């Protein structure tokens, strides 16, 4: 009912009373006002009837929706069954918000961004059933975007080799989403579903920057030429400076219009390789996990010649991987291995962080992605040679040198652990035997192993080959992860799990000591080819296992 109607009726009555004594003009005005009131009442009644019709059509449509994993019914339940997208202003905001998904590495066209206002107009010239169908389709587009932001667009088990966990559970509040939609803040709804970590935000900001870069006017460094180093001069040095400026080393050039096309300034680009340029090269090398020697060799040249489009694709792939990661419990200890970054990160319950260099599996024997929890340590371990290493590495050496086993303190045992004489085994076709190396200085596992349940027999361990940690590219193992300073890590794991054992006492004890952790500590091994470092700078890593292309194609 029109709330102004009583007041309007009173005014008309007063006008009629005055008209009796003062003439007809007022009667005419009152009649006209009465006619307008009647029309307004009819319009309000029509709109109320229209809204009710759309609501009824919406309820009918929701009752028939089947075969969707999207929480459509829950969304409308939080809206008390009201339509969400019958306002042109709100639908325009939906179009705008969906366009921002480009910075998340998602394609706005997959959510029909930019089409919803036109579709709204078309639906409003049709009946209530069509308008309800439009409303549900617009909601499904938003909910699909929320799903992809929150859990990833892809199922990692289908595109990432060896992924051992289901997709993360939905982690946003539908009440929060509904409230954001009701107030027309669609971008807030998307923000509620996005991963909240600083790493994701850094990747997203980097993608926005790289999408805007234009390198078409900057020459490439010629491949196959001699390395460039401090003291060199020539045109190639000017090209080097421009390539470095493209990737963020702006100090490498003055105000050169070919690098800064929006600045109307020109200056000669130096052709001399000085100490400042060497420092810029080193910073670039560190951000690309290359040997930071300030020398532009083949690997550095290849990284400098990358295109912005290729880097943007790399960021898209790793934004998707970031959406697969389970959110960390800020109150508990957690351990994770950054496979492609060759680093291990341990966060203690206090928030203190401990980092170490690691050696990971080679491209021929990849370190798998694992989600598990540390269960126990092995101190002064013996080493039972894994079947793959026995078959591919050991047997060829044993066949060539009968003394190989004795020289490396390796014994032969049967399947129940009993020793077998090496000369009694047919090494051309050995069967029913294993090789085991006792604890000691030459044991490949070193003195400490950190173990966690998994299907690939992967663990973290010490190594006598400490020099490998000095290399920049460390994909060198047979799959397990060698950790620099693992004894220190082991002591922290003991303390943070509630154990009273001390590593100093354990290391002086016997071989193959098993030490259980009273409380298990989560551990994850992940493969990320672009990720922020401790300074917040996004590092680009080599795709050592050639996994990016498959994810990118699926996106």
User: So which residues are the catalytic ones?
Assistant: 461, 480
Place of tokens 């193992």: 477
153: enclosing H helix or E strand: none
Tell me the three state secondary structure of residue 419.
strand
371: enclosing H helix or E strand: strand 370-379
* Cα angle 531-166-340, degrees, rounded to a multiple of 5: 25
User: Residue 412 and residue 418: Cα distance in Å, rounded?
Assistant: 8
Tokens (6 digits) for 177: 């989403």
Tell me the three state secondary structure of residue 441.
coil
Tokens (6 digits) for 512: 């193959």
Q: Is the dihedral of CA 475, 382, 463, 461 positive or negative?
A: positive
Report yes or no: 359 and 495 within 8 Å, Cβ to Cβ. Answer: no
SS3 content of the chain, % helix, strand, coil (to 5): 45, 15, 40
User: Residue 396 and residue 213: Cα distance in Å, rounded?
Assistant: 52
Dihedrals phi, psi of 486, to nearest 5 degrees: -70, -25
For the chain, the straight-line distance linking the first and the last C-alpha, in angstroms and rounded, comes to 52
Cross-strand partners of 337: 344, 525
Report yes or no: 149 and 104 within 8 Å, Cβ to Cβ. Answer: yes
Residue 287: which residues within 8 A CB-CB, separation 6 or more? 247, 533, 537, 538, 539, 540
HSE-CB for 389 with a 13 A CA cutoff: 15
Would strands 475-477 and 481-483 be described as parallel, antiparallel, or unpaired? unpaired
Q: Is the dihedral of CA 160, 164, 169, 171 positive or negative?
A: negative
In a 10 Å sphere around its CB, with 0-12 CB exposed, 13-18 middle and 19+ buried, how is residue 472 labelled?
middle
Tell me the three state secondary structure of residue 392.
helix
User: Residue 283 and residue 277: Cα distance in Å, rounded?
Assistant: 10
Integer CA distances (angstroms), 459 to 298, 337, 376, 449, in order: 34, 11, 11, 7
């Amino acid at each position: 009912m029109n709330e102004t109607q009583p007041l309007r009726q009173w005014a008309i009555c007063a006008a009629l009373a005055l008209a009796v004594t003062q003439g007809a003009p007022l009667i005419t005005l009152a009649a006209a006002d009465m006619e307008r009131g009647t029309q307004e009442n009819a319009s309000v009644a029509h709109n109320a009837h229209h809204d009710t019709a759309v609501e009824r059509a919406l309820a009918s449509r929701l009752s028939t929706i089947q075969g969707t994993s999207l929480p459509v019914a829950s969304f409308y339940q939080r809206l008390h069954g009201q339509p969400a997208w019958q306002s042109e202003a709100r639908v325009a905001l939906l179009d705008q918000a969906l366009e921002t998904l480009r910075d998340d590495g998602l394609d706005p066209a997959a959510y029909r961004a930019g089409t919803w206002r036109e579709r709204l107009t078309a639906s409003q010239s049709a009946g209530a059933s069509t308008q309800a169908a439009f409303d549900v389709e617009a909601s499904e587009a938003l909910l699909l975007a929320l799903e992809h932001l929150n859990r990833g667009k892809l199922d990692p088990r289908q595109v990432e080799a060896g992924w051992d966990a289901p997709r993360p559970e939905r982690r946003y509040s539908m009440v929060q989403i509904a409230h954001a939609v009701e107030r027309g803040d669609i971008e807030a709804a998307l923000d509620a579903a996005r991963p909240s970590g600083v790493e994701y935000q850094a990747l997203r900001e980097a993608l926005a920057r790289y999408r805007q870069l234009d390198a078409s006017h900057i020459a490439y460094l010629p491949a196959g030429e001699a390395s460039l180093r401090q003291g060199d001069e020539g045109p190639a040095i000017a090209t080097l400076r421009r390539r470095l400026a493209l990737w963020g080393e702006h100090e490498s050039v003055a105000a050169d219009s070919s690098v800064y096309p929006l600045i109307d300034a020109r200056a000669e680009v130096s052709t001399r390789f000085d100490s400042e340029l060497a420092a810029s090269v080193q910073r670039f090398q560190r951000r690309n996990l290359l040997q930071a020697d300030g020398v532009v060799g083949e690997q550095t040249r290849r990284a400098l010649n990358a295109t912005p489009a290729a880097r943007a694709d790399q960021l898209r792939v790793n934004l998707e991987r970031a959406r697969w990661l389970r959110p960390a419990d800020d109150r508990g200890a957690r351990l994770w291995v950054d496979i492609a970054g060759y680093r291990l990160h341990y966060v203690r319950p206090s928030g203190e962080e401990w980092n170490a260099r690691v050696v990971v599996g080679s491209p021929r024997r990849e370190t798998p992605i694992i989600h598990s929890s540390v269960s126990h340590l092995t101190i002064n371990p013996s080493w039972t040679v894994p079947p793959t290493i026995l078959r591919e590495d050991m047997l060829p050496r044993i066949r060539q040198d009968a003394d190989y086993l004795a020289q490396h303190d390796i014994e032969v045992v049967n399947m129940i652990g009993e020793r077998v004489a090496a000369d009694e085994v047919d090494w051309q076709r050995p069967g029913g035997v294993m090789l085991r190396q006792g604890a000691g200085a030459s044991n490949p596992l070193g003195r400490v192993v950190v173990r966690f349940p998994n299907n690939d027999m992967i663990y973290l361990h010490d190594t006598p080959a400490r020099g490998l940690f000095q290399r920049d590219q460390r994909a060198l193992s047979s799959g397990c992860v060698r950790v620099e300073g693992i004894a220190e890590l082991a002591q922290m794991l003991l303390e943070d799990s509630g154990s009273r054992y001390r590593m100093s006492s354990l290391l002086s004890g016997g071989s193959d000591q098993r030490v259980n952790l009273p409380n298990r500590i989560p551990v994850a091994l992940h493969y990320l080819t672009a990720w922020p470092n401790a300074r917040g700078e996004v590092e680009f890593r080599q795709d050592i296992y050639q996994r990016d292309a498959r994810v990118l194609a699926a996106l």
